[in-house]
């Protein structure tokens, strides 16, 4: 291996170095430099995106680099750019929030950057070991971010719960990986694929390994019954962190999920797909039902994000090329909608820390028509109503499931989408149909940057909803990666 082998890895190296630099700068700047630090974090992410585009793209077909640890393909580029975009938007949304809090910006920004590095490795890992390292880098950074507001009890509680359950799931995952390695003799995804394809009958140890890796992955993307950490973590975390962890890490976990299951474990699809079917159905049914009764908006959005993982899982159940790229597209669309929705929640947090109930939204449409219209778009999008992007995302996932013969699962999904309208529309009902003049109404804070990001998310949600062609084409370019095309 020579130094030039590291060239495709330059974006990650740069981002990690930038994270370290910002960490050091944060110590000297202290509380005053929040905007500078976040600004430099955003700049570093933008540079990283450019570097990904320049160095990180595959020349020709998929390219294995660094001794088989990472692979450069369109799937990786697609997910890396989604994650970088999510990190940029989340960081910008955090600026005002952090300034109003007693905490500094250095560690915060650098943790977001480290998490992004981890996610980028997860998106391009070609080996279970590198995937796992990426996952842990992301996860550890995120645990700290969730507990970043160290004087808040809720933030601490959320971090501890998230950490304990996350560590447990990592343990399960590693155990599964060890069984796979023990029976198949390799950690390389292609090697595993070949070994499994060559086996006439799956032996029980390898089977158990696949099951445990599956459980670990379901944990990370928060699928029922491995979802219990999500509502607490989402509710307790500072809202910009919630916005971040609900999209970036989720997209990264799905990228890893796709690589492992539609890549390495694809020969045994018949064995694990039924489990995924049941998990997807249970997730959609349970999460959407549970969301109905939530009064805390962040908790409700947490259950909503669990439900969305369930929809996306349908693409993996389908197991086809279309299933693969529909999940990619879904993650892209979901990222914008969810970030936008949380951006609105950030604006509403004028009355202290994370105390926003649904009733706080009463009459907002009258007092803040533009922002309320934005939230309406996100609620419609998350519910999957045309002409928003959320509809397109669901459409492709559902079409993939129908094409693969899973009409029953699709029926469950559409029925639960109809149920989901009910809770998304509780917010809309409050905003538009109630006056909110009975009791002390909540006010939105003015934060130009958050507003700008919400606008970006609205534009993306509507644009992809009306004209999905280019995004679909881009996602489809990723399918060659796993040899499903």
With CB under 8 A as the contact rule, the residue among 67, 473, 483, 485 that binds another protein is 473
Regarding 398 and contact with another protein (CB under 8 A), the answer is yes
What is the spatial distance between Cα 271 and Cα 319, in angstroms, rounded to a whole number?
A: 12
Regarding 299 and contact with another protein (CB under 8 A), the answer is no
Toward another protein, which CB reaches closer, 56 or 323?
323
Least CB distance to another protein at residue 309 (A) = 20
What is the spatial distance between Cα 362 and Cα 346, in angstroms, rounded to a whole number?
A: 16
CB under 8 A: which stretch of 21-29, 189-197, 198-206, 413-421 binds another protein?
413-421
CB under 8 A: which stretch of 109-117, 273-281, 286-294, 395-403 binds another protein?
395-403
With CB under 8 A as the contact rule, the residue among 468, 481, 482, 484 that binds another protein is 468
Regarding 153 and contact with another protein (CB under 8 A), the answer is no
Q: Which regions of 56-182 does DSSP assign to beta strands (E)?
A: 63-65, 70-72
Contact map string, positions 364 to 383, toward another protein, x by CB under 8 A: --x--x----------x---
Regarding 415 and contact with another protein (CB under 8 A), the answer is yes
Toward another protein, which CB reaches closer, 435 or 440?
435
Regarding 387 and contact with another protein (CB under 8 A), the answer is yes
What is the spatial distance between Cα 265 and Cα 12, in angstroms, rounded to a whole number?
A: 27
With CB under 8 A as the contact rule, the residue among 133, 208, 228, 385 that binds another protein is 385
The three-state (H, E, C) secondary structure of 100-136, written as one string: HCCCCCHHHHHHHHHHHHHHHHHHHECEHHHHHHHHH
- Report cis status (omega within 30 of 0) of the bond before 307: no
Q: Which residue has the tokens 């020969």?
A: 267
Least CB distance to another protein at residue 275 (A) = 23
Regarding 476 and contact with another protein (CB under 8 A), the answer is yes
The distance from CA 404 to its chain's CA centroid, rounded to whole angstroms, is 25
What is the spatial distance between Cα 370 and Cα 189, in angstroms, rounded to a whole number?
A: 48
Regarding 399 and contact with another protein (CB under 8 A), the answer is yes
Pairing, β 70-72 against β 63-65 = antiparallel
Would you say 213 and 260 are in contact if contact means Cβ atoms under 8 Å apart?
yes
Using CB under 8 A as the binding criterion, the count of chain residues that bind another protein stands at 33
What number of residues does the chain have? Answer: 485
With CB under 8 A as the contact rule, the residue among 67, 411, 437, 446 that binds another protein is 411
With CB under 8 A as the contact rule, the residue among 153, 197, 271, 433 that binds another protein is 433
DSSP characters over 264-305: ITGGGHHHHHHHHHHHHHHHHHHHHHHHHT--BHHHHHHHHH
The distance from CA 266 to its chain's CA centroid, rounded to whole angstroms, is 23
Least CB distance to another protein at residue 259 (A) = 23
Regarding 423 and contact with another protein (CB under 8 A), the answer is no
Interface ranges with another protein (CB under 8 A): 366, 369, 380, 385-387, 391-392, 395-396, 398-399, 402-403, 407, 410-411, 414-415, 417-418, 421-422, 425, 429, 432-434, 468-469, 472-473, 476
């Amino acid at each position: 291996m020579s130094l030039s082998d590291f060239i495709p890895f330059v974006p990650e190296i740069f981002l990690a170095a930038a994270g370290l630099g910002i960490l050091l700068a944060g110590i000297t700047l202290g509380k005053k430099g929040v905007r500078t630090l976040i600004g430099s974090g955003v700049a570093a992410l933008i540079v990283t995106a450019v570097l990904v585009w320049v160095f990180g793209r595959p020349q020709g077909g998929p390219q294995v680099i660094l001794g088989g640890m990472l692979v450069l393909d369109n799937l990786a580029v697609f997910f890396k750019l989604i994650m970088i975009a999510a990190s940029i938007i989340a960081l910008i949304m955090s600026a005002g929030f952090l300034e109003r809090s007693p905490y500094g910006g250095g560690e915060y920004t650098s943790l977001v950057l480290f998490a992004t590095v981890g996610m980028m490795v997860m998106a391009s890992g070609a080996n279970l070991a590198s995937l796992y390292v990426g996952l842990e880098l992301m996860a550890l950074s995120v645990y700290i971010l969730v507990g970043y507001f160290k004087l808040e009890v809720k933030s601490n509680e959320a971090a501890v719960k998230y950490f304990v359950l996350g560590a447990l799931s990592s343990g399960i995952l590693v155990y599964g990986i060890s069984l796979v390695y023990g029976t198949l003799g390799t950690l390389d995804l292609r090697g595993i694929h070949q070994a499994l394809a060559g086996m006439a009958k799956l032996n029980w140890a390898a089977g158990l390994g696949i099951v445990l890796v599956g459980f670990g992955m379901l944990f990370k993307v928060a699928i029922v019954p491995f979802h219990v950490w999500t509502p607490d973590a989402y509710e307790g975390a500072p809202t910009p962190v919630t916005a971040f962890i609900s999209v970036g890490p989720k997209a990264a976990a799905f990228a890893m999920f796709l690589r492992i299951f539609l890549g390495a474990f694809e020969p045994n699809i018949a064995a694990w797909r039924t489990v995924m079917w049941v998990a997807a159905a249970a997730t959609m049914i349970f999460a959407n039902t549970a969301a109905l009764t939530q009064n805390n908006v962040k908790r409700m959005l947490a259950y909503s994000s669990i439900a969305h993982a369930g929809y996306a899982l349908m693409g993996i159940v389908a197991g086809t090329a279309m299933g693969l790229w529909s999940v990619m597209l879904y993650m892209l669309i979901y990222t914008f909608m969810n970030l936008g929705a949380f951006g609105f929640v950030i604006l509403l947090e004028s009355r202290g820390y994370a105390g926003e109930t649904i009733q706080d939204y009463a009459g907002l449409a009258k007092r803040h028509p533009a922002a309320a219209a934005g939230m309406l778009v996100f609620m419609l999008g998350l519910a999957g109503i045309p002409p928003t992007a959320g509809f397109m995302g669901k459409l492709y996932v559902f079409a993939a499931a129908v094409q693969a013969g899973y009409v029953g699962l699709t029926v469950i999904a559409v029925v639960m989408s109809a149920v989901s309208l009910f809770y998304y529309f509780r917010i809309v009902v409050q905003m538009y149909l109630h006056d909110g003049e009975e009791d002390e109404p909540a006010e939105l804070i003015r934060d130009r940057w958050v507003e700008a990001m919400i606008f970006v998310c609205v534009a993306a949600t509507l644009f992809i909803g009306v004209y999905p062609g280019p995004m679909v084409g881009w996602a489809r370019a990723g399918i060659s990666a796993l040899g499903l095309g």
